[in-house]
Amino acid sequence: MIIIPEVGNTPYVNNAEFVKLTIINLDGSTVVHTFSSSYKIEVIDGVSYKALGGLLMVGTQQRDLRVTSSDTTITLSGLTSENMYLVLGTPIKGSTIEIWRGFYNDNYILTNTVRRYKGVITSYSIHEDLEGNTDNFIISVNCSAYKTILDNRISGRKTNTASWKQYNPTDVSMDKVQALDNTYFDFGKTVNTSGADSSTTLTATVSQGNK
């Protein structure tokens, strides 16, 4: 159990959401974006979080005693067209998202942070709200917990040579699967190589087997 003194025996709680977005580019490089709903820049574990205030909205995070498949949504508003590279210019789908909740004391000093959520971005949407001649973009990203990703993952091996030899390169169990694909088999009858009627061959074989 996580004990948070800031929420005990107090009539109100001052808090803010802190988001860490880790994007892995196609070339293998990693880019980290950090921002928060705080009114000022905060430094947590040596990492500086930009203050977005009310421009950042974080959905609820489900809390259970056991691991569950929970989703949440993060919305950024007030973005200009120059900031759209964050979504359009990077492979944001599949990126890791972490959400902390920070608590302030009566003097508005950050005293404690608790991680509330960790998952993967599965989809996003972009909305444009034009005000006069000023562009105002709203980006919403949908995040899924790792359990959801594991639930949707295909387990086991496929019936092809590449999948079968992934763990044992010398395994030849599936080498002939491709040649047998779409081949019709008349199960229960013996192979007819002489051109005679297959039913006659089958009857003879069965009769000999009953003697």
Residue where the block lists tokens 């508003």: 77
Mean of per-residue pLDDT scores for the chain: 76
> What is the pTM for the complete model shown?
0.62
Burial 125-135 (b: 16+ CB within 10 A, else e): eeeeeeeeeee
Percent of the chain, pLDDT > 70? 71
Residue 198 pLDDT more than 60?
A: no
Residue 18 pLDDT more than 60?
A: yes
Spell out the residues 6+ positions from residue 160 whose beta carbon is closer than 8 angstroms to its own: 174, 177, 178
User: pLDDT for 22-60, tens place per residue?
Assistant: 988 888 888 898 999 998 999 988 899 998 887 888 876
Residue 114 pLDDT more than 90?
A: no
| Rounded average pLDDT over 161-182 | 81
Confidence of residue 178 (pLDDT cuts 50, 70, 90): confident
pLDDT, greater one: 200 or 96: 96
In whole angstroms, what is the distance from residue 196 CA to residue 189 CA? 13
Compute φ and ψ for 51, nearest 5 degrees.
-95, 110
Distant-in-sequence contacts of 181-186, Cβ < 8 A, 24+ apart: none
| Rounded average pLDDT over 97-107 | 87
Confidence of residue 206 (pLDDT cuts 50, 70, 90): very low
Question: For residue 108, which amino acid is it?
Answer: Y
In whole angstroms, what is the distance from residue 94 CA to residue 72 CA? 15
